[in-house]
Amino acid sequence: MDLYEKAIRSAQDNSFVHIEALAYEMAAKFYLARGFPQIAQLYLQGARSCYLRWGADGKVRQLDAVHPHLRTEAASALPTGTIAASVEHLDLASVIKVSQAFAGERIMEKLLESLMRTAMEQAGAQRGLLVVLRGAEQRITAEATISADLVTIHMRDVSVDVALLPVSLLRAVLRTCECIILDDAVGQSPFAADPYVQQRSARSILCLPLLNQAKIVGALYLENNLVSGVFSPARTAVLKVLASQAAISLDNAYLYQELEEREARIRRLVDSNVIGIVIWDLDGRLLEANDAFLRMVQYDREELNAGLRWFDMTPPEWQEVHARSEIEELVATGTMQAREKEYFRKDGTRVPVLIGAAAFEGRPDQGVAYILDLTNLKRAEEAARESERRYRQVQAELAHANRVATIGQITGSIAHEVNQPITAAVIGAQAASRWLEHDPPDLEEVRRALARVVRNGTRAGDVVGRIRDLIKKVPPRRDLLEVNGLVREVVELTGSEANKNGVFVEMLLADDLPTIRGDGVQLQQVALNLIINAIEAMSAANGGPRRLLIRTEKTEANHVLVVVQDSGPGLASTTVERLFESFYTTKTVGLGMGLSICRSIIEAHGGQLWASANQPRGAVFRFTLPPAD
Ligand code: ADP
């Protein structure tokens, strides 16, 4: 645009009015082509007046035919009266100056300065404010003042306030999108009552909406409190053109600023090297990568510039996955959801990573990916797994030791339990041989006696087998189990111990229980612990009936509930939770591990174990187990 400006100036200097006209016309075409019809109009008027002065009436007629409004507007827009004689040129020069500035400026501050300076000079204002809309908020972004004929611009960023400008007038302009000019604001105007107008005795006021394609983006406020009627329509014509272009530029500038801020934020992420970031293409090339990524794969920037390929860093098994699903996902959705994979480092070792990617809009064969080094995480995971494994092992050993100890505690009773059927078997065998000695031998009695031998022998074998199971060290299982069966076996095993201690045992087993999934030996250990604890508690107490009730029920949530309830001394409410702590015991020979192991077994089965007081005396231990499915 400089070109036309220079051409016009030099034509004016040399009084080449025909060249001046031509330059005006070309400038008009330039602006028209770029979508600035109002500026183009001003140039056309310049061209028309040159042709008039030159006497080229034909050219004037031709212009008027194509642009009929030029003739009328030329008459009214051409300045008359007190403003400088060359006002037309001055205006035009300003327009050119500012248009150029706006067209070229991208930086918000300079743009606002250009606008304010020109507006102040143009209009003869004493003070000016630029109000910009940010969402619903109106903010003053620049303030211009004049002292000693010098315009000073200050960048501001404050909310609109009654102390700074007539807010009622500003709102009217923003609402109607119409320009308001007041010759004597405090004297005779609809805004005479505005607090600012009153306080400052405001005289000449001009407030222009800044519109970008019918969208209001702000307002330009100018005032002169010394002189009335400063802002004549002739002066405002140019201001309006400037304002509309300023609005477009302001909008662009904001967009640009926003873009810059966004880019700066993204840059910050890239440069901070917290995560690896690369720009890739689908051919397998790395177009860009930050230091974090290069460090991860042990390459340097020179090697990247020489043409590093991410595809070559991808181990063969991932290459296949990439070829199939990842490209498909990227092409279909534009993004690749985060996933774990591996890359080869330069030294051939593998680095585990988490990677997510997005294709660029309009360039789907390229995109950006973020990559997180998972080496430390994997190491920590492995360590956590190992310590979990060791913890489980120790826990299993402990549970086993507790089981063996509990069984050991009742060996006497168990021996009795095994002895009984063996004795019965011996008696049966003796009876059988006696029946055989009869003459004739009573074979029917022999058969019956031998059946008793078999029954008792099997029973003894069962008890021994069960004890062996409980004492055996086997890895935990996840079997489908019937809780009632498990409970029955434990009650049987502890029957002699209860007997020995004068405890009357009762069982109430529900027959609608769901099957559960778990380890039968572990669950029997829980029942065994609770029953032995109850027998011990009752034996330690003096007097009163010794009753042990073992119930099973189905809860509302379809879980299995097992209740072990005794009539012993009961639990002090303050210590109920402590019972489940490791090494808490009130017994001289106790270990204090039983209940804590029981709780961890039940919780590992997805259930709960808790204790409470029994009525009228004694303790109740309950545990739940979820159904198998
Ligand atoms: P230990 O039997 O080796 O003491 P436990 O963890 O099995 O370890 O039990 C911890 C403590 O809980 C016992 O010492 C006892 O004081 C208390 N306790 C357990 N069961 C009962 C019960 N049925 N009645 C009263 N106290 C109980």
**Residue 516: what pLDDT?**
97
Give residue 553 CA to ligand 1 midpoint distance, Å.
Answer: 24
Shortest CA distance to 414 belongs to which of 500, 479, 341, 301? 500
Which atom of ligand 1 lies closest to the CA of 589?
3
How far away, in angstroms, is 536 Cα from ligand 1 center? Answer: 9
Atom from ligand 1 closest to the CA of residue 618: 24
Would you say the CB of residue 76 lies under 6 angstroms from ligand 1?
no
**pLDDT: which is higher, 451 or 363:** 451
pLDDT of residue 197: 92
Which residue's structure tokens are 């029917």?
A: 444
Is residue 576 classed as helix, strand or coil in its secondary structure? coil
For residue 248, pLDDT over 60 is answered with yes
Of 145-154, 220-229, 287-296, where does mean pLDDT reach its minimum?
145-154
134 pocket-lining for ligand 1 (C-beta < 6 Å): no
Q: Is the CB of 566 under 6 A from ligand 1?
A: yes
Residue 171 to residue 138: CA distance in whole angstroms: 10
Q: Could you tell me which residue, 381 or 247, shows the higher pLDDT? A: 381
Q: pTM of the predicted model, to two decimals? A: 0.48
Report the candidate in 565, 570, 513, 560 with the shortest Cα–Cα distance to residue 537: 570
Instruction: Report which protein residue has its CA nearest ligand 1's atom 8.
Output: 592
- Compute, in angstroms, the gap from residue 586 CA to the centroid of ligand 1: 7
Q: Which ligand 1 atom sits closest to the C-alpha of 586? A: 14
Does 179 have pLDDT greater than 50?
A: yes
Q: Which residue has the CA at smallest separation from atom 1 of ligand 1?
A: 592
CA of 473 to the centre of ligand 1 (A): 25
State the distance from the centre of ligand 1 to the C-alpha of 556, rounded, in angstroms: 29
Nearest Cα residue to atom 23 of ligand 1: 534
How far does residue 584's CA lie from ligand 1's centre (Å)?
8
In this prediction, what percent of the chain has a pLDDT beyond 90?
40
Atom of ligand 1 at shortest range from CA of 533: 20
Q: Which pLDDT does position 417 carry in this prediction?
A: 80
Judge whether residue 228 has pLDDT over 60: yes
Residue type for 112, please?
L
* Portion of the chain with pLDDT greater than 70, in percent: 89
The CA 589 to ligand 1 mean position distance, Å, reads 11
* Gap from CA of 45 to ligand 1 centroid (Å): 106
Q: Is the C-beta atom of 592 inside 6 A of ligand 1?
A: yes
622 lines ligand 1 (CB under 6 A): no
Angular region, 273: left φ>0, alpha ψ -120 to 50, beta rest = left
Q: What are the helix and strand counts (H, E) for the chain?
A: 22, 18
d(CA 585, ligand 1 centre) in Å: 6
Residue 389's contacts (CB-CB under 8 Å, 6 or more residues apart) are none
Radius of gyration of the chain (CA): 49
Give the sheet arrangement for strand 137-147, strand by strand: 150-159, 137-147, 127-134, 215-224, 204-212, 180-182
The DSSP annotation for 27-47 comes to HHHHHHHTT-HHHHHHHHHHH
Q: Is residue 587 within 6 Å of ligand 1 at its C-beta? A: yes
Q: Higher pLDDT residue, 3 or 582?
A: 582
Ligand 1 within 6 A of CB of 595:
yes
What is the 481 CA–ligand 1 centroid distance (Å)? 27
Q: Is the CB of 568 under 6 A from ligand 1?
A: yes
Which of 563, 595, 609 should be mutated for ligand 1, with most atoms under 8 A from CB?
595
CA–CA separation, 416 vs 497, rounded Å?
Answer: 9
CA-621 nearest atom, ligand 1? 23
Q: How far is ligand 1, taken at its centre, from the CA of residue 567, in Å?
A: 14
Distance 534 CA to ligand 1 centre (A): 8
Whether the Cβ atoms of residue 573 and residue 613 lie closer than 8 Å to each other: yes
DSSP 351-375: EEEEEEEEEETTEEEEEEEEEEE-H
Of the candidate ranges 109-113, 271-275, 336-340, 507-511, the one whose mean pLDDT is the lowest: 109-113
What does the pLDDT read at residue 15? Answer: 65
Which pLDDT tens digit goes with each residue over 588-607? Answer: 878 888 998 899 899 989 99
Q: With bands split at pLDDT 50, 70 and 90, how would you rate the model's confidence at 78?
A: very low
Which residue has the CA at smallest separation from atom 25 of ligand 1? 570
Residue 392 pLDDT class (50, 70, 90 cuts): confident
Q: Ligand 1 in contact with 537 (CB < 6 A)?
A: yes
Cα angle vertex 136, ends 131, 142, to 5°? Answer: 15
pLDDT score recorded for residue 136: 80
The gap between the terminal CA atoms of the chain, to the nearest Å, is: 80
Q: How confident is the prediction for the chain on average, in pLDDT?
A: 84
